[in-house]
Amino acid sequence: MPDTALLIIDVQVGVVEGELRAARLDSVLDNLNLAIAKARQRGMPVIFVQHEEDDLPHGSAAWQLHPKLARQDGDLQVFKRYGDSFCETDLAQLLQSHGISKLWIGGAATDFCVDSTLRNAVSRGYQITVIGDAHTTVSAFALSGEQVIDHFNAAWGASSATPQPLRVLPAAEL
């Protein structure tokens, strides 16, 4: 039984195709699908996380996962209301029940939900591999989405003070 799961965070229509289109979205979707294929070849669970809030109501068209994602029956789902995918969800129990100690992580938004979830997972002792070309965000504040993605990949890749290794790899190298 594999000890690794693929966690895809908030790649929802209203998140990545909203008012602003997420940076590098077409290649991010391609790389997420490559990661999904690799996970399935290895018998790893694929977990889709979906965020909901007042402007992203559960079940709405905007709340739906992006239609280009290679979903299958049997994929797992986690629903959340906060940036961190562990906060008030059953994610920790789900991972424990599958014997998961390592995560491949991709999704949206790099600087919010992906980063929050990754940091909590590191604190919980998971070994993390960020799929460096399979996460995205929109331009905000003074930075472009591309700059945010590149900055977080560099920061995560330089992080060595973690209980378990934290790696950043492109989907092709998983």
Q: For 52-92, write each residue's pLDDT tens digit.
A: 999 999 999 999 999 999 999 999 999 999 999 999 999 99
Domain extent for 142: 4-173
Q: What is the pLDDT of residues 99-148, one digit of tens each?
A: 999 999 999 999 999 999 999 999 999 999 999 999 999 998 899 999 99
How many domains does the chain contain in total?
1
pLDDT band at 151; cut points 50, 70, 90? very high
CATH number at residue 138: 3.40.50.850
3-state SS string over the chain?
CCCEEEEEECCEHHHHECCCECCCHHHHHHHHHHHHHHHHHCCCCEEEEEECECCECCCCCCCCECCCCCCCCCCEEEEECCCCCCCCCCHHHHHHHCCCCEEEEEEECHHHHHHHHHHHHHHCCCEEEEEEEEEECCCECCECHHHHHHHHHHHHHCCCCCCCCEEEECHHHC
35-54 mean pLDDT: 98
* Phi-psi label, residue 81: left if phi above 0, alpha if psi -120 to 50, beta otherwise: alpha
